[in-house]
């Protein structure tokens, strides 16, 4: 009995050691943006910036002198983050605005406020996200909440702000996706909301991340020649709160346990966002997928399908009931 217990303990220690070693090597391979560019007189909007990589990106860009708008669901949490950024960077131009990307009403109210108050948008970072729910959960708009938060809300927001982004050119749209997009092998634009009942939590998250890339690719095509560049990115495995609200999701639970050991820090995870926001060398690149501060080929062929991207765009217009006055392309 004692020998068995010792064997199990030795196995557990060995596994933990391998995981920790992987994490150390993974973090060491992280690339940091080399750009020292100032963001003075630039206005940046970052969704989901009260925690995780959004918060770190906001801090970095504020340190560079940007006027940063934290677009967040939890105003108290965001206000605390804004105070922290102001006190540590010396930049007082850090604002908080309410935005719940799972709600079309909230997205439209946020966009209306931005259009009324801001004269330009230099960088729009579409970063907010959740890991998904164990059962298909609908928003007040009748949309599956993972798709609504991660894709539909950002799709609507980008369209509502597109006119101002074009007027502010050269400007940039940055879409946070994930390598999880490669977990799905087919995508039906008619079933983005899972009306047929074939819902699975990991599929919903992966589909939303695939839609992020397809949306970014099609938007980049639409905006060619306007001075607005659009790129998607994978931040890598990062210890964030994205799966914190997930219920009954074994992958989410494993993520919460393993990410702090195996994954990047939030500062490391934010580097590609910062790079895409500030880099002068890559300023003209559009319609690409970035990882570790460079264009990546680590992308599935599914999301490189221009025809599929157009169909997802058209389906998304219907899901968010995009109105003629909200169309700027």
Residue numbers annotated as active site: 205
The Cα angle at residue 275 between residues 271 and 279, in degrees rounded to 5 = 160
184/230 Cα distance (integer angstroms) = 23
Please give the C-alpha separations between residue 242 and each of 50, 70, 178, in angstroms, as whole numbers. 12, 17, 12
Could you tell me which residues come within 8 angstroms of residue 82 by beta carbon, excluding any fewer than 6 positions away?
70, 94, 95, 96
Q: Is the peptide bond before 35 cis (omega within 30 degrees of 0)?
A: no
Is 290:300 a contact under the CB 8 Å cutoff? no
Q: Give the C-alpha separation, 247 to 297, whole Å.
A: 33
What interhelical angle do 201-222 and 250-262 show, nearest 10? 70
């Amino acid at each position: 009995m004692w020998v068995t217990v010792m064997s199990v303990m030795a196995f557990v220690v060995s596994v933990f050691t391998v995981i920790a070693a992987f994490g150390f090597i993974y973090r060491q391979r992280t690339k940091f943006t080399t750009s020292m560019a100032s963001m003075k007189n630039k206005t940046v909007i970052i969704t989901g910036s009260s925690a995780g990589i959004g918060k770190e990106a906001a801090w970095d860009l504020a340190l560079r002198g940007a006027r940063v708008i934290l677009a967040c669901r939890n105003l108290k949490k965001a206000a605390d983050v804004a105070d922290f950024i102001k006190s540590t960077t010396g930049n007082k131009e850090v604002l908080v605005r309410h935005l719940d990307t799972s709600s079309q009403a909230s997205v439209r109210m946020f966009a209306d406020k931005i259009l009324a108050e801001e004269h330009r948008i230099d960088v729009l970072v579409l970063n907010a996200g959740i890991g998904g729910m164990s059962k298909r959960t609908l928003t007040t708009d009748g949309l599956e909440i993972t798709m609504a938060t991660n894709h539909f809300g950002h799709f609507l927001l980008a369209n509502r702000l597109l006119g101002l982004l074009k007027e502010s050119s050269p400007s940039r749209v940055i879409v946070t996706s994930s390598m999880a997009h490669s977990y799905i092998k087919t995508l039906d634009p008619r079933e983005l909301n899972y009306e047929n009942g074939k819902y699975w939590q990991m599929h919903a998250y992966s589909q939303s991340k695939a839609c992020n890339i397809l949306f970014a690719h099609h938007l980049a095509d639409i905006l060619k020649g306007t001075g607005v560049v659009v790129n998607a990115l994978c931040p890598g495995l990062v210890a964030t709160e994205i799966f914190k609200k997930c219920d009954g999701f074994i992958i989410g639970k494993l993520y919460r346990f393993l990410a702090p050991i195996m994954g990047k820090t939030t500062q490391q995870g934010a580097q590609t966002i910062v790079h895409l926001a500030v880099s002068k060398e890559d300023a003209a690149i559009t319609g690409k997928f970035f990882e570790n501060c460079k264009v990546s080929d680590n992308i599935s062929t599914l999301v490189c399908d221009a025809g599929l991207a157009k169909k997802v765009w058209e389906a998304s217009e219907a899901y968010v009931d995009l109105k003629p006055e909200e169309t700027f392309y």
